[in-house]
Structure 1
């Protein structure tokens, strides 16, 4: 049974390796693998040409063949070992370059350093050395290479070396040219950023993310699988800094009881517990090999895996760290691809959350609008109807026909108002002459409440949008209803006048002064009235002047 499990594990691992290699061939996303195969190609050419043109049996010819064979064995060993693990690949990079350089220099010497057919290969050696040496040492390396080249010109005076065949020289130059063209086409194709963006777009397109209403944990687990290609994964996240951490796992694991610090502090990179190494990805996209970090140890223990790829995303208040159990080998930019894909998925989640929040806010605003409209129109109309029929119900000697006409007029007006509340049609560019609009409303309110209502208009432009006119009409309805019901007002005066780039409406009534209607600093305590006017960018103030309650409203023209 155990043998079958090991065999199945091996087949899965082999399929995973083949799949990744097919999906990500030689390119600028895999510079070190390109370098390894270029070294192998050149070493194969050196070995082939060295043995093919070996005619004079001398010590120099034998040394050339041995060195070319050693370079081929080195290149084969590097390709084989680097395929075993990303950690092994990074550990042998510097020794492989140094050994290749040390073998190439004797090859130049035994083939006549001043006129060697292998001299063109020194450009590849220079590129190798430049990749493993820090930039501040470039000048020293250049001086050392220059000194070595100058010293090699004296080799001919120390030892007599047979000249290389001219045909060998021509064949090597042609091969160098072909290799240079092929490798340049690989490395100078699409840039690394372009390939990363292409990988991200392709994976997100084929990922089929869960619907917007799905659980955040399920969404992030799916995004992690799309980003890395793994199945066994877990994610630790929070959408805001003040929220508690949440945990989700594809294996049904529970939230770890302790030790969340290392789990959350891990960076994007690769962790190999068996080889005690972590490879972190810097912001510049370069990889750095270090001993196994605390975060890498925590995640490998949690997922019960030898090799784990972790991805960290922190955008604003959103923070997420995911880990996937994956099989080695991995190329040097698998973490960068996973970072791009997972980061894009997290941004999509944030956008979805924002849209959901926007829908909630829009729904709350719509409910508030309905409450305000119903309060300022329907409820005030019902209060007016009760006011009209109260004398009739009290047995007073009044004409019922007039009361019925008023009730009928109020009902007709509210039918149109309710239709507008259900399906508002707002045209922001539709301008109306405010005095005419208010004149009809004031006259209707006077008849509705059986009081004296008078509108005075000062000279000047009082044109505004139809929306502002409608909102101000609702405000006037509430003011009149409150004045009649709470202050027993029998006469209300309205004064409309232009006030610079604003319009001012002043309302005075002869009702009983009620200081409870005055708030601090003269602010009107009616929330519905205040919200309606403030939504227009206006202001409302209430004063008791000469025994008369006065409300002043100022609103912008647009």
Structure 2
């Protein structure tokens, strides 16, 4: 994991079980030194005390050594070591006169040990049993009379107990575990260098996993959305598995040891659970071709990733938890960057759609109108050329202003416009442009709306009239504007050839641009054929 030998052995709130092992070893050393230093002639009792103290020292040394070799071994020996240590300590109390034993203060450490290997709901029971044993030991003198220990030994042990209690309490009750995890994770992210994710996120996740675990051989299986197929990325020497990704994607955060057929799962609160080698552990150890593998799982919304690193044991809870935090932070950064990139793509697509819609509803319709105006002149019909030229010039001037607005729109959606005035100018201009009869009727009521809605309705009216003239050969178009509750309704009818496909995506008159424009305003479009006249009714909100 890139830690020094001192860091691996240092006492820390991130290593509660390591702290427990070293505290047990420290107390055993103190017991042995004090016991042999203040040894007195008490026959077999003194010999029994020495033997028990040496057994406790041997047990503590064995626990520290074995737990440093394998995380799986560490978890397997925790409960047996604590049980043996408890039995040896009780025996030590019995041979040193329980009612006046200098080792009695160590019973608090033994009670804490036992409480750590039982369920939380039994902690009160452990406290009651410890109290009962402490009270019952004072009556042991009625059964067997044991010689008392020297007073100097009692004083020295009490002083040592106090020093150990202060040391361990300062370690375990210092900064909280969550604070230390965040500090270690931030430190790795600060000293590490993550590349900028591009379209292929595999290299970014591999670098993040190397930074999180300190391993060289790493692999990751990820997908940006739940509906996407998983994508595999691995180190140079690793190939994607030929079989499915089901077992690989099911692996959680934890440690897997194929040689010992064991998996250790790590929950969100850092509690480790030992079990048989999981299917995910089997799959990842096979992919990495390693006996010991650390897996890290991250799920953020629809993003999902499982990373695996080939690491040598030992690997304890703190390192796995830190790796989880670092990899999760990197994945969060990836999702944020990906969201920003996606937002830029969406914004660009919306801007292109706006330009297409504006050009279609204004410029293209104006060009179609110009062709409509000059068609009789080109066909040799007896028309006044000057009137045609003046009409084309008026259309061109109007479109110059429209194109300038499309290139640089300046919209204040809080500004209100009186819609009848706006539509009256547009209707009059369309009648002159197409050479047809256009009439606007305004019903009584408030028809004020925002300038943006007025502009969008003006473009919609232009397209409706152009379609009516070009495809339905209409000669008259009537408009009716009226308030409709908290909405405004615009009804457009023409005398052209009835055509119910006016708003369809196929047929004579495709008008998806019109539908899209009105829907973006939160409005609705209805098409009817009433009395042989095609009628379009548009309703939009006032704001």
TM-score, normalised via structure 1 length: 0.88
SS at match of 2:535: strand
1:233, 1:251 within 8 Å by CA — same for their partners in 2? no
**Alignment pair present for 1:527 and 2:495:** no
Q: Shift of residue 443 of structure 1?
A: 2.1
For 2:162, the equivalent position in structure 1 comes to 177
SS at match of 2:182: helix
Whole-angstrom distance in 1 between the partners of 2:522 and 2:331: 38
User: Structure 2: 5+ residue runs without aligned partners?
Assistant: none
SS at match of 1:333: helix
For 1:399, the equivalent position in structure 2 comes to 384
Q: Which stretch has the larger CA shift, 274-283 or 100-109?
A: 274-283
Whole-angstrom distance in 2 between the partners of 1:495 and 1:144: 91
2:504, 2:511 within 8 Å by CA — same for their partners in 1? no
Q: Deviations over 1:108-167 (max 9, x none)?
A: 223221011221110000011111233465566556545544553344345543433334
**Alignment pair present for 1:231 and 2:216:** yes
Whole-angstrom distance in 2 between the partners of 1:151 and 1:23: 41
Q: Deviations over 1:77-106 (max 9, x none)?
A: 222221122122112212221222122122
Q: Which stretch has the larger CA shift, 372-381 or 507-516?
A: 507-516
Residue among 224, 231, 243 paired with 1:246: 231
In the TM superposition, what are the counterparts of 1:344-383 in structure 2 within 5 Å?
A: 344-383=329-368
2:96, 2:146 within 8 Å by CA — same for their partners in 1? yes
Whole-angstrom distance in 1 between the partners of 2:378 and 2:2: 91
For 2:462, the equivalent position in structure 1 comes to 477
For 2:450, the equivalent position in structure 1 comes to 465
Q: Which stretch has the larger CA shift, 426-435 or 210-219?
A: 210-219
Q: Deviations over 1:186-230 (max 9, x none)?
A: 112222233333333333444433223141222221222122121
Q: Which stretch has the larger CA shift, 489-498 or 229-238?
A: 489-498
1:17, 1:328 within 8 Å by CA — same for their partners in 2? no
2:369, 2:434 within 8 Å by CA — same for their partners in 1? yes
2:491, 2:536 within 8 Å by CA — same for their partners in 1? yes
SS at match of 2:259: coil
**Alignment pair present for 1:297 and 2:282:** yes
In the TM superposition, what are the counterparts of 1:5-404 in structure 2 within 5 Å?
A: 16=1, 18-19=3-4, 22=7, 25-54=10-39, 58-135=43-120, 138=123, 141=126, 145-146=130-131, 148-258=133-243, 260-404=245-389
Q: Which stretch has the larger CA shift, 313-322 or 182-191?
A: 313-322
SS at match of 2:313: coil
**Alignment pair present for 1:505 and 2:490:** yes
Q: CA RMSD in A?
A: 2.8
SS at match of 1:253: coil
Q: Shift of residue 250 of structure 1?
A: 0.7
Whole-angstrom distance in 1 between the partners of 2:250 and 2:450: 56
Q: Deviations over 1:411-438 (max 9, x none)?
A: 2221221122122222221111111211
SS at match of 1:407: helix
Whole-angstrom distance in 2 between the partners of 1:20 and 1:215: 38
Residue among 401, 404, 414 paired with 1:416: 401
For 2:437, the equivalent position in structure 1 comes to 452
Q: Deviations over 1:271-315 (max 9, x none)?
A: 223333222224553222223334323322322222111223345
Residue among 530, 533, 539 paired with 1:545: 530
Q: Any runs of at least 4 consecutive aligned residues in structure 1 with deviations exceeding 6 A, and if so which?
A: none
TM-score, normalised via structure 2 length: 0.90
Q: Which stretch has the larger CA shift, 483-492 or 145-154?
A: 145-154
User: Structure 1: 5+ residue runs without aligned partners?
Assistant: 1-15
Compared CA separation, residues 464 and 20, structure 1 to 2 (3 A): farther
